[in-house]
Amino acid sequence: MKRIARPAPGFARRMRVGQAAPAALPAHVTGAVNLVLSAALWLAIISALLYSQGRAFRDAYLITYGVDAELLPWDRGALAYWGMVVGTQGFLKSVLVPTVAIAMCFLLSWLATEWLLTRRGGRSQSRSSAGTIRPIPLVVLGCFGVTAAMLVVGFVLLGFQWIQFGAQSRGVDDAKREIREIESCAGRIFQSPGYRPVHVERITTGGREVYDGFIATCTDKRCALYDPLQRRTQVVPLDQLVRFDTVKPEQVYWREFRTPNIESSSSTDRGDR
């Protein structure tokens, strides 16, 4: 019987290591994966912030109109849009501008201090005295680092909370401004396309229901109409509709403009029957 020669121990060990070691990914592939993961994380955080800002604006806006916000839920696209508008304005107003102002103040103070030290000759003395300062212990440095990190996180959360408060204030202010202009019958109502007066008629088991007002907001199931004559907001279901027409503001403000329309529609219905 022939004896089979065994491989050398060093060669066998290298073969086992080569078979067990996984194939390493190239550096550019690893960098691309990390970049995609980081982008996905930041995109999720920004989307959540935009959603929260848009919802704060929506809730404050509808509550000011006197409507329960849950009755007229906006879709995620509308919430993200208003969150972007309000959040961007709030960030520029509440975070970016104060931060730049504080940084400029610190920079000017540092430049002024350097100029004074150079002029008085105190810079060389400060340098010579700086060499005799004892090193700060590592524990103290760690405490300062943790405190600084907590302060940074607190300021960031406070900034986002301030932006949230700004979104709510923006919603209240927009709703109050619109209600005030609608009730005062301002000239802007007759010129701006942002105000949409409508005439709505529904057929229900109790008879015909007629609504006239300015659209505050609409979903696929309901609309909130503000009636300046009754000074209240009505939530109108969008089922069993007969008419949903955009009309002139006069038809909403004065009843004599809308009564003939209602009578003519009623007579037409009776003639059809």
28 within a domain of the structure (yes/no): no
Q: Give pLDDT, residue 176.
A: 92
Say if residue 218 is exposed, middle or buried (CB neighbours under 10 Å; 0-12, 13-18, 19+).
middle
| Structural domain that includes position 251 | 192-265
Crossing angle of helices 27-65 and 76-91, in 10° steps, is 90
Instruction: State the total domains in the chain.
Output: 2
Q: Give pLDDT, residue 262.
A: 43
- Model confidence at 185, in pLDDT bands (50, 70, 90)? confident
35 within a domain of the structure (yes/no): no
CB contact set of 253 (below 8 Å; sequence gap of 6+): 185, 228, 229
210-251 residue pLDDT tens? 999 999 988 888 899 999 988 899 999 988 888 898 888 888
Same domain, 179 and 62: yes
Residue 257 has pLDDT above 60, yes or no: no
Same domain, 93 and 202: no
Collapsed DSSP state (helix, strand, coil) of residue 160: helix
Name the residue with higher pLDDT: 9 or 143: 143
Name the residue with higher pLDDT: 71 or 3: 71
Residue 113 has pLDDT above 70, yes or no: yes
pTM for the predicted model, two decimal places: 0.60
Say which CATH number the domain at 260 has.
2.30.30.100
Tally Cβ neighbours within 10 Å of residue 204.
10
